[in-house]
Amino acid sequence: MVAVNRTNAVPGDPPRRTFAERLDDAAPHVLLLPAVLIVLVFALFPLFVSIVLSFSRFQFVRGGFQITWVGFANYNKLFFGSEQRHLLGKFTPLDQLSLPAWIVFAAFVVVMLVLFYQYVTSPRRRVFGMIMRVITMIIAGSLALMAVATLTGIGIPGTLTVTLLIVFGAVALEYAIGFGLALLLTQNLRGKRFFRVLFLLPMMITPVGVGFLFRMLTNTTVGPLEFIWVGLGLQNFSMLDTAHSARLAVIVGDVWQWTPFMFIILLAALEGVSKETVEAALVDGANGWQLFRYIVLPDVIPVSTTVILIRMIEAFKILDIPNVLTGGGPGTATETLTLHSFYSWRALDLGISSAVAYILLFVVTFMAMVFVNIVRRRVLEAFA
């Protein structure tokens, strides 16, 4: 083996690295390679395959399967074809919308215009920001008009409206109840440690189990609550037979399971509020409302917006509870976008299933961007 004469090296040149040193530098990349390959195989590859399927027609043929490129035919079928009523619902004609429906829609439009005006007149306005807000207003206004036209009059909501209704209704109730329970258990109450554990139990049950549990509780002919229904004269009544009550049952089931998630995060945020600041405010004569508004809320709001965002994204994927509890019925009254995609996949219509999945991806991304860039920012500024 020939030794390297380092005495002849030109001054200023970097020292020559040995093979062992180069191997040490490459070791982190080599060790990370299996994890990267796993991500590529189990995450990016299915993502690529599903987007190809959303623009294709998948058919099983003798000896295998056949994939035919159809372009936007699947999306055209969902928005304008035979699947339109399934996805978007049956619309009440605009000239038949009731006055309360128009008032709700007009109020939503006014709020969007006020927010847009405040951004345009603010010193941080940008051309790109104004363009994106105009696009946001068009999409949000279309979704609001769709919800109003399908939930009132002779309208029948499709899976998109049902998903939005369940998500916003469930997340709002989960946050309100979770925040209330967290505030309650920060007080000096007896047995609060026991209740902390008790409140976490619903989150430990699988969504399928929650679906079966509420399916049993809403049954007026059998189950542990039968004597109550009989006593109220409701033994021949079922909450799952009507659209509104069935959606309410799904929302209640989801709220029962996921309120503990909100509760435990908000409880940790409340317990992290500086006790010295609270004691100083009390010494200065602050009352309970001032203490809550100017000390507790500014510390809790950043955590609240983050946990709402996480829960909202997760709620869009709700599948097990409506599938087990109602089967998406009556009709499509409780069928969410995830359930719509699942039923299409089960019917081997993989093109429509993938297209619905990507519509859901677009809706989730849009809602998350609006929440982060508009709602969260304004809330943080208001309570700063």
Q: What is the pLDDT of residue 140?
A: 93
Q: What is the mean pLDDT of residues 360-376?
A: 90
Tell which of 131, 154, 177 closes a domain: 154
Q: What is the pLDDT of residue 72?
A: 93
- Residue 31 counted as domain residue: no
Q: What is the mean pLDDT of residues 343-365?
A: 93
- Residue 5 counted as domain residue: no
Who wins on pLDDT, 211 or 1? 211
**Model confidence at 11, in pLDDT bands (50, 70, 90)?**
low
Total domains, the chain = 2
Q: Among 17-21, 267-271, 327-331, which is the least confidently predicted range?
A: 17-21
**Model confidence at 150, in pLDDT bands (50, 70, 90)?**
very high
Which CATH number fits the domain that encloses residue 187? Answer: 1.10.3720.10
Q: Do 287 and 202 sit in the same domain of this protein?
A: yes
Q: What is the mean pLDDT of residues 129-150?
A: 92
Q: What is the pLDDT of residue 159?
A: 95
Q: What is the pLDDT of residue 10?
A: 52
- Residue 70 counted as domain residue: no
Asked if 263 and 243 count as a contact pair (C-beta separation under 8 A), the reply is: no
Q: What is the pLDDT of residue 192?
A: 76
Q: Do 131 and 161 sit in the same domain of this protein?
A: no
- Residue 111 counted as domain residue: yes
Measured CA to CA, the distance from residue 128 to residue 109 in angstroms comes to 21
Q: Do 196 and 280 sit in the same domain of this protein?
A: yes
Q: What is the mean pLDDT of residues 271-287?
A: 82
Expressed as residue numbers, the domain containing 112 is 93-154
Q: Among 31-40, 84-93, 261-270, which is the least confidently predicted range?
A: 31-40
Q: Do 107 and 211 sit in the same domain of this protein?
A: no
Measured CA to CA, the distance from residue 71 to residue 283 in angstroms comes to 69
Which percentage of the chain shows pLDDT scores above 90?
42
Q: Is 132 exposed, middle or buried (0-12, 13-18, 19+ CB in 10 A)?
A: middle
Give the HSE-up count for residue 317: Cα atoms under 13 Å, Cβ half-sphere: 7
**Identity of the residue numbered 366:** F
- Residue 88 counted as domain residue: no
Tokens for 57? 């027609």
Asked if 85 and 162 count as a contact pair (C-beta separation under 8 A), the reply is: no
- For residue 317, the cross-strand partners are none
Q: Do 283 and 342 sit in the same domain of this protein?
A: yes
Tell which of 118, 135, 154 closes a domain: 154
Who wins on pLDDT, 280 or 88? 88
Q: What is the mean pLDDT of residues 76-104?
A: 92
**Model confidence at 331, in pLDDT bands (50, 70, 90)?**
confident
Q: Do 197 and 110 sit in the same domain of this protein?
A: no
Q: Do 104 and 230 sit in the same domain of this protein?
A: no
Q: What is the mean pLDDT of residues 154-164?
A: 93
**Model confidence at 335, in pLDDT bands (50, 70, 90)?**
very high
Q: What is the pLDDT of residue 1?
A: 43
- Residue 21 counted as domain residue: no
Q: What is the pLDDT of residue 213?
A: 86
Q: Do 196 and 100 sit in the same domain of this protein?
A: no
- Residue 281 counted as domain residue: yes
Who wins on pLDDT, 145 or 45? 145
Contacts of residue 379, Cβ cutoff 8 Å, sequence gap at least 6: 301, 305
Measured CA to CA, the distance from residue 320 to residue 79 in angstroms comes to 26
Q: Among 2-11, 32-41, 183-192, 229-238, which is the least confidently predicted range?
A: 2-11
**Model confidence at 23, in pLDDT bands (50, 70, 90)?**
low
Please state at what angle helix 350-370 crosses helix 159-185, rounded to 10 degrees.
40
| pLDDT, averaged across the chain | 86
Q: Do 116 and 246 sit in the same domain of this protein?
A: no
Who wins on pLDDT, 373 or 248? 248
Q: What is the pLDDT of residue 12?
A: 54
- Residue 64 counted as domain residue: no
